[in-house]
Amino acid sequence: MAVILIVNPVSGGGRGARSENRVVDALRRRFGTVDLYRTRAPGDASDRARAAAGEGYELVVAMGGDGTISECVSGILSSARPDMPLAFVSTGRGCDFASQFGSAGSPEAWVERIKWPQTRKIDAGEIRFDGEIGNEPPRYFNNIASFGVSGHIARRVNRARRIPFLPARALFFVHSLIGLATYKPVAMRLSVEGREASLYEVTLAVVANGPRFGGGMKIAPMAMTDDGLFDIVIIPAMARWKILLQFGRIYRGTHFRNPDVIHVRGRSMTIECADGMMSLSAEIDGEAIEIRSVALNLQPAALTLAM
């Protein structure tokens, strides 16, 4: 069986690089042919997974954090073989997506789960930014796309100097507090399943395929990756002390007790910054970006996981 292992060597503060040889050896003992590819820049994992689909590989294994897994998902689903199976070895800090499938612990323990995998289909989200059309392949996500303060926080986290042995949850917590204190809510036009767009002053808008983001925050605890629907959570502009209170509740998944927090379910959503001269902070499975508008569509049972 021909396998390609796509490794982000800087994931988990270098955990990916430290573990790759042991993981390759373990996979080769099980599958025989295992080729190793190390990413060098953002987008590399997506490009390599897309190319691998046309090169005769039978399994892609992503080794890194949620961002590396997400890039491989996007590459496979935009390839000529979108049904190509994907497995993963989680070596990142947050691991919000991976946590849905249990905590295997060490990279070698994740490999044990891959050796005799059970395949399953899960949903994925298709994203088109700023009115993209034509032949440009869409971006996909497997966990969460969010807009507003989360993009502001993700940028801070991704740029932060890593402190050895500082847990991911603590890193996200500190930068979330700073981000909430410095973020100004943005006016967005939001439309679910083609309904007439509503204008909101928004602190955070989340389109969730999975339940957690931000290093363990239960932003959409009812979300499931195989139910054919997005869970959409909108936290409107509030006084800062109220936002900080909601922030604590998000870790527990109890923020829906606030009647101002909106929760709906659907297969599609569009988001547009109301001020056409401004951009909107966003994060897609942990990657921070700036956009003006976005269209998100659920692709049911699009991704084949081998875990």
CATH (domain of 60) = 3.40.50.10330
First to last CA, the chain: 16
> At which of 83, 117, 151 does a domain end?
117
**Residues 267 and 206 placed together within one structural domain of the fold:** yes
Closest CA to 256 of 227, 230, 281, 222: 222
The encoded tokens of residue 174 equal 């500190």
> At which of 117, 132, 152 does a domain end?
117
**Residues 62 and 147 placed together within one structural domain of the fold:** no
CB atoms within 10 A of CB 102: 11
Across the chain, how many H-helices and E-strands are there? 7, 15
Q: Could you give the CA distance from residue 252 to residue 231 in angstroms, rounded to a whole number?
A: 17
CB atoms within 10 A of CB 29: 11
Q: Could you give the CA distance from residue 281 to residue 303 in angstroms, rounded to a whole number?
A: 27
Tokens 């490009």 -> residue: 47
> 291: domain CATH number?
2.60.200.40
**Residues 161 and 109 placed together within one structural domain of the fold:** no
Q: How many residues make up the chain in this entry? A: 307
| Residue 251, helix vs strand vs coil | helix
In a domain, 56, yes or no: yes
- In order along its 307 residues, the chain shows pLDDT tens digits of 899 999 999 887 777 788 889 999 999 999 999 999 999 999 999 999 999 988 999 999 999 989 999 999 999 999 999 999 999 998 877 789 988 887 656 788 888 888 888 899 999 999 998 865 555 678 999 999 999 999 888 887 777 666 656 666 777 788 788 888 888 899 999 999 999 999 999 999 999 999 999 888 999 999 999 999 999 999 999 888 888 888 889 989 999 999 999 999 999 999 999 987 788 999 999 889 999 999 999 999 999 999 8
**Residues 278 and 196 placed together within one structural domain of the fold:** yes
Q: Are 177 and 214 within 8 A, CB to CB?
A: no
The encoded tokens of residue 299 equal 């692709």
CB atoms within 10 A of CB 169: 15
Domain span at 280: 140-300
Q: Is the dihedral of CA 274, 276, 280, 285 positive or negative?
A: positive
119: phi then psi, degrees, rounded to nearest 5: -85, 145
In a domain, 126, yes or no: no
